[in-house]
Amino acid sequence: MKINHAQFIKQEAKRLGFLACGIAKAEFLAEEAPRLENWLQQGFHGEMQYMENHFDMRLDPRLLVENAKSVISLSYNYYPAQLQNKESYKISKYAYGEDYHQVIKEKLRELLASIQQEIGEVAGRCFVDSAPVLERAWAEKAGLGWNGKHSLLIEKQQGSFFFLAELIVDLKLEYDQPTTTNHCGSCTKCIDACPTAAILPNNTVDASKCISYFTIELKENIPSHFKNQFQDWIFGCDICQDVCPWNRFSKAHNEPLFHPNEEMLQFTKRDWEEITKETFQKVFKKSAVKRTKFSGLHRNIRFLKD
């Protein structure tokens, strides 16, 4: 029996190593529009001015891909088998291996090529956290999970340690049912654990108070009143995910390109404090940590140490 196009795409996604794949109709995100506008008006994006750009595109994928019909949402596991030395400064688990933007985009291109080979002339674009796409909203619409109180997508069997990516195509497909149930319930572990009070009680994250924002996005000096609140995080932060009960189901990924640099895993605080530009370039050659640059990492370490 011949499988339909949606089934073929999901089988290919699984073959390429994706955790899950769901499909939603490409249309205007009416429910998200007021939420995004309010979030920006509150200034919760801090100095991430790019969040204000392309407002309409963020809400309508048809402005990103001409004649778009479907948004294919995919997740990719990054939970590591090995963790850093516990007595060290910490970097977010997603940055242990090679930069996910390149690794996953290559897989998306392969998926698009497979679709074109199987189905024929299909136009589309690949997105991995690099364009104005509300990825969590689309993943929820495609049935991949629900948005937790920490604003990250959670899936019952996998937790939240996965990347999201999208393939927007001009092909009409069979659409999945959106996730309508939030399984966080009355749990407030992520809210209670956030040392900078970035997670608000109304399921909103004030990114301008988030440790990830301070250590990656902020280019100026970190405000001094946040001193002694970073709990040794120098690039990103996983606190809200580490305390989430659903992440007890997280399983180690099997993506070789995400395997951590062994030298980095063994770093002590002194190793981080004495890191040279040469060592930084060598250890983080293909890592997302390069986003903060050597000077930014040095600033973050100094903020914790001084």
pLDDT at 170 over 70: yes
Among residues 165, 61, 11, the alpha carbon closest in space to that of 103 is found at: 165
Catalytically annotated residue among 60, 129, 170, 271: 129
| Adjacency order of strands within the sheet including 70-77 | 20-25, 70-77, 162-169, 124-127
Q: How far apart are CA 293 and CA 46, in angstroms?
A: 20
Single-letter amino acid, residue 208: S
> pLDDT for 87-105, tens place per residue?
999 999 999 999 999 999 9
Triad 211, 153, 67: Cα angle to 5° = 115
> pLDDT for 242-292, tens place per residue?
999 999 999 999 999 999 989 999 999 999 999 999 999 999 999 999 999
- Between the alpha carbon of residue 233 and those of residues 87, 98, 204, 214, the distances in Å are 12, 19, 22, 10
- How do strand 90-91 and strand 233-235 relate by DSSP bridges? parallel
Task: Tell me whether residue 129 is one of the annotated catalytic residues.
Answer: yes
Among residues 82, 16, 21, 81, the alpha carbon closest in space to that of 251 is found at: 81
Element (H, E) at 136: helix 135-141
Total-model pTM: 0.95
Q: How far apart are CA 50 and CA 129, in angstroms?
A: 13
